[in-house]
Amino acid sequence: MTTPAVIRPLAAVHLREALTAAANGQGPAAIAALLHIDHDSWTAIEQRTALLGTTVLDLLATAARTGGTP
């Protein structure tokens, strides 16, 4: 059994910043936040979103469409 990839705390902050920026219509800021995520954390984020049946791109699109509200 393999150890699941870990999302580092700073990467989680960057992901939250990206989602907040997308919700506020700030696409370039969302992309900038995503670019700060380290490779291992990015892999873990992709794995976890896949388990939820979605992708980071879908999360960003939903945040942009809804303004961050469910």
- Cα separation, 12 vs 36, whole angstroms: 10
In this prediction, what percent of the chain has a pLDDT beyond 70? 94
pTM higher than 0.85, yes or no?
yes
- Band (pLDDT 50/70/90 cuts) for residue 69 is confident
| Torsion sign over Cα 15, 31, 41, 13 | negative
Q: What is the pLDDT of residues 17-30, one digit of tens each?
A: 999 999 999 999 99
Q: 28-56, pLDDT tens digit by residue?
A: 999 999 999 999 999 999 999 999 999 99
- Which two structure tokens, joined as six digits, stand for 9? 């705390």
The pair of three-digit structure tokens given for residue 16, joined into one six-digit string: 């939250």
- Quote the crossing angle between the two packed helices 9-23 and 56-66, to the nearest 10°: 40
Side-chain-side CA neighbours of 13 within 13 Å: the count stands at 4
Cα radius of gyration (the chain): 12
